[in-house]
Structure 1
Amino acid sequence: MPMSHVTAPLRVVIVGGGLSGASLAWHLAQMQVPVVVTVIEPRAELGRGLAYSTTEPTHRINVPAHRMSLDPDHHDDFADWLREAAASGRLPPDDQADAGRGDLFPRREVFGQYVADRLAPHLQAGAVRHLRARVQDIQRNEDGSLLLHLSDDGLVRADLLVLATGHPPPAVPKVLAGLSGQGPLVADPYDPAQLARVPKDARVLIMGAALTSADVIATLDRQGFQGQITCISRHGLRSRGHGEVIRESEVDFTDPPLQGASDLLRRVRHAIVDDLAQGQGWQATIQRVRDQGGAIWTALDSAARRRLLRHLRTYWDVHRFRIAPQVEAVLDRLIGAGRLRYLAGHLTSAMPQADGSVQVAWRLRGTRQIQRQPFDRVIVTTGPAHDRCIDGNPALSALARLGLIAPDPLGLGLDTTLRGWARDPKGRDSDRVLIAGPLARGQVGELVGAPECSVHSLHLAQEIALHATFGPTAPSIEHARAVGQD
């Protein structure tokens, strides 16, 4: 294949400096790719994002430290950094981080500090530039490059634009729309000021029962909350704990090739039985599914993916997205004290009352029975509204108006290729826009946790390196490696 070398460094602009954007910038700097990297992120430090900018002490990483790393080839990088930072006195004491069996679950802000530390040398050397602003609008130039208008009135030109905007905020359920702007509704569960104003003896309803719900409950408990908490979700299932994994599961979910969602479910059930027989918890099996998540997802056709999402997504989420042992202990204690309950149901109405409370009605799952109860606070933790990610983000809205991006058909984010390039509404592949992080999960599959985001960022960095060398006609990574070996 003839090579069309780029004569000047590519201007790569990354919109979003959370974990996905920061790790991509780090990989590009490590690889010394001939690009100029600019990250547009309003927060003071790269790598924080929503998850790792929190200063709430009960918010801990949900994956053991030895599995968290910017470098997929060095899984212990974060754990090594923790030891070095603690020895040098750069970290405050945290006697709650050790969950036993050698597993560390430090506060999330500490992982954000780790990412910022790893990026600091590249920022100081100028290999990565950080602009503290937001993208307000985007124009397309005659040469195909993109001109970004920033909130500080600055302009940035991009030869390649990477969208790493992360998770969109949760959407307020329609049944709660009448409460918007009123005191009883907490629409942003990560707003510490709103949670601090929850009365200590309040009757609290939490919409959702997954990780964010657990974070809210742990925060309220730390603040001395003594009231009653009811969590309502479609299935009434809460996130599971980590359990004990003695050894990695050896099952292979990719060989022989999967025949569909039912085949995957059957194999997972059989693997759990086998692992239990060997003294393993089901967590070992689910970790194996997670490790092979990309290969499993890409092996399924669109019909199988839809079926999996419709019937199994909730069960996958509560077993895959496990909570830190410290948070699990809080939930177990409150359940045992009769102050926390989980219900499977569907809200039918929410009416404000004269005393400032909200009369909520819901139908229990599998029945026609309607229950009613007054609550002093209603907290929304229903998870990111990925199917509405374009409407709520000015940068994505601008690209959609230009016809450069389109929603993912499964409602999981943005439509992409396997190599990470955006697709337009007509299904055509972009040669200017790439998608990083959770918004690409419709094509990539499992792409929410830090380990998966780091791997995906490495693949995108390799893709950008090929683009910098070959231009828009760049071969696949596999082809480029084969040519290099020849």
Structure 2
Amino acid sequence: MNQMPTPPLAARLRVVVIGGGVSGATVAWQLARMQVPASVTVVEPRAELGRGLAYSTNEPTHRINVPAHRMTIDPDNRADFVEWLAKAEATGKIKPDTDAPTASGDVFPRREVFGAYVADRLSPYLQSGAVRHIRARVSDIERLADGTLLLILSDESRIRADQLVLATGHPAPALPKVIAGLAGSRHLVADPYDPALLAGIDPHDRVLIMGAALTSADVIATLERQGFAGQITCISRHGLRSRGHGMVTQDCQVDFTQPPAGKVSDLLCRVRRAIAEDQARGQTWHAVLHRLRAQGQQIWTALDGDAQARLLRHLRTFWDVHRYRIAPQLEAVQIRLIETGHLDYVAGHLVLAIPRDGAVEVTWRVRGSESLRQRSFDRIIVTTGPAHGRCIDANPALAALARMGLISPDPLGMGIATVADCVALDAQGHESDRVLVAGPLARGHVGELVGAPECAAHACNLARDIAARCVGAVSLRALSDNISDHA
């Protein structure tokens, strides 16, 4: 890692990262490693950086969804996490996990372990002061006369930022309107990651889970570990659940970027053809999905806005359940519960939820028809996924920036509008000289930016861009001071 000359403290830029999950922590880590001429501060209420929502859980059934050998915050060292994991187990820093290895030879550790890895990588820089962690939230932001940003924190302190990095991650799910009347009721679990709420579910309850993707799989695994013996029904628009990992014996060699697919239908035909060719060789669709994932950004940016919107409207659900796969341990739980009759999946749309006789009577419309189904449930758990379309309104820091016109929503409803290098666009469509976006909030421009490996690679590139900005700004300040001294 190249080291940069250290300028006088007064000449250093103040880089502030809002959000200390994987994306924010990786940006800070990369800047510290490069010895960028800047002070780096991360504002994150959690006790440790690198945890975020996904990796702060201590639920033993919650595992990373990607094999350990593909998880790292260092794109230049793909084996970094695996090497750290082996050393941490050997030295007793973490307990060996006999359930992590799978029959395929891949290892899927608990998510809290990956969080510990990221925190451990940052620890030396926090101790040295190269990175500062402020345990607070940003309550408001003001723009000062010189253009710098003043952040007002929940602990009533204030800090200034010359460069602001928004890494607030996934916003909380929005409560569907059909069940809004159940807010505050014992029947509703609006936060599926609140262990106390899940622990309060009776083993013989009738449970309805809204959503059938990754969070739903986490909830199902948690309930089974708790000894749940009741009935679970998962309802989603298509009735599709997240797929598992298949064995890839030969990499897909198809280049989906050449020629660029300008139409969604053309891209879909090429994908189907590649899968059919693999199936003829006795291989599943997984290799093609790996290839699509690797080329995701180039594929996405080759589509115009209308094509991107069409892809999201018609194919997003199918992409999500195949792209964001669950760990084999969680897939085994689902299969076991389905086979024993304790879990089923339905495709439909909720139209009514009425408390009645100590339960909730739920009515849904069956997908593809006008027929209605009705059933009573003791608990309804919301796992509908992040409400990216309301990320600005739901976050005081983002809302403040939007009020000042410094950021704007992504037109596809996926986060914040950005351009190349994930520079934020202001309300007039101009590139910001102060605000950059890291992680999932930038995926409207980037496309494939949800999984930890992609977020880490993106954070690394963003850190390099920030480093260049810092060096340029320091050089400009030095030149200005030199001219002033000789005037």
Q: In which range does the TM-score fall when normalised by the shorter chain?
A: over 0.9
Could you tell me which residue of structure 1 aligns to residue 157 of structure 2?
154
- Aligned-residue offset at 1:318: 0.1
Instruction: Tell me whether 1:101 sits opposite 2:104 in the alignment.
Output: yes
Could you tell me which residue of structure 1 aligns to residue 464 of structure 2?
462
2: CA distance between counterparts of 1:220 and 1:371? Answer: 25
1: CA distance between counterparts of 2:406 and 2:261? Answer: 33
Residues 239, 317 of structure 1: 8 Å contact kept: yes
SS in 1 for 2:421: coil
Superposed CA deviations along residues 257-301 of structure 1, whole A, max 9, x for unmatched, are 212111111111111112223332211110110011111111111
Residues 102, 328 of structure 2: 8 Å contact kept: yes
AA in 1 matched with 2:410:
D
AA in 2 matched with 1:209:
A
Could you tell me which residue of structure 2 aligns to residue 182 of structure 1?
185
Instruction: Tell me whether 1:75 sits opposite 2:78 in the alignment.
Output: yes
Instruction: Tell me whether 1:263 sits opposite 2:266 in the alignment.
Output: yes
For residue 207 of structure 2, the aligned residue among 204, 208, 219 is 204
For residue 319 of structure 1, the aligned residue among 280, 302, 322 is 322
- Aligned-residue offset at 1:419: 1.2
Instruction: Tell me whether 1:19 sits opposite 2:22 in the alignment.
Output: yes
Superposed CA deviations along residues 2-25 of structure 1, whole A, max 9, x for unmatched, are xxx998111000000000000111
1: CA distance between counterparts of 2:54 and 2:474? Answer: 34
Could you tell me which residue of structure 1 aligns to residue 244 of structure 2?
241
Instruction: Tell me whether 1:408 sits opposite 2:418 in the alignment.
Output: no
AA in 2 matched with 1:126:
G
SS in 2 for 1:231: strand
Could you tell me which residue of structure 2 aligns to residue 441 of structure 1?
443
Could you tell me which residue of structure 1 aligns to residue 351 of structure 2?
348
Could you tell me which residue of structure 1 aligns to residue 253 of structure 2?
250
For residue 92 of structure 2, the aligned residue among 79, 89, 92 is 89
2: CA distance between counterparts of 1:117 and 1:473? Answer: 33
Gaps of 5+ in 1: 475-486
SS in 2 for 1:21: helix
For residue 116 of structure 1, the aligned residue among 111, 115, 119 is 119
- Aligned-residue offset at 1:472: 11
Superposed CA deviations along residues 331-368 of structure 1, whole A, max 9, x for unmatched, are 00000011111000000100011x32100000000011
1: CA distance between counterparts of 2:65 and 2:42? Answer: 26
Superposed CA deviations along residues 292-311 of structure 1, whole A, max 9, x for unmatched, are 11111111110110010000
Residues 150, 159 of structure 2: 8 Å contact kept: yes
Instruction: Tell me whether 1:304 sits opposite 2:303 in the alignment.
Output: no
Could you tell me which residue of structure 1 aligns to residue 168 of structure 2?
165
Could you tell me which residue of structure 1 aligns to residue 485 of structure 2?
none
Structure 1 residue ranges (4+ consecutive) displaced by more than 4 angstroms after TM superposition: none
- Aligned-residue offset at 1:402: 1.0
AA in 2 matched with 1:392:
A
TM-score (norm 1): 0.95
Residues 36, 471 of structure 2: 8 Å contact kept: no
Residues 161, 433 of structure 1: 8 Å contact kept: yes
Residues 431, 472 of structure 1: 8 Å contact kept: no
TM-score (norm 2): 0.95
For residue 142 of structure 1, the aligned residue among 132, 145, 167 is 145
Among the aligned pairs, what percent are the same residue?
A: 66
SS in 2 for 1:419: helix
Say how many residue pairs are matched: 469
SS in 1 for 2:11: coil
1: CA distance between counterparts of 2:397 and 2:65? Answer: 30
Could you tell me which residue of structure 2 aligns to residue 387 of structure 1?
389
- Aligned-residue offset at 1:445: 0.4
- Aligned-residue offset at 1:473: 12
Could you tell me which residue of structure 2 aligns to residue 369 of structure 1?
371
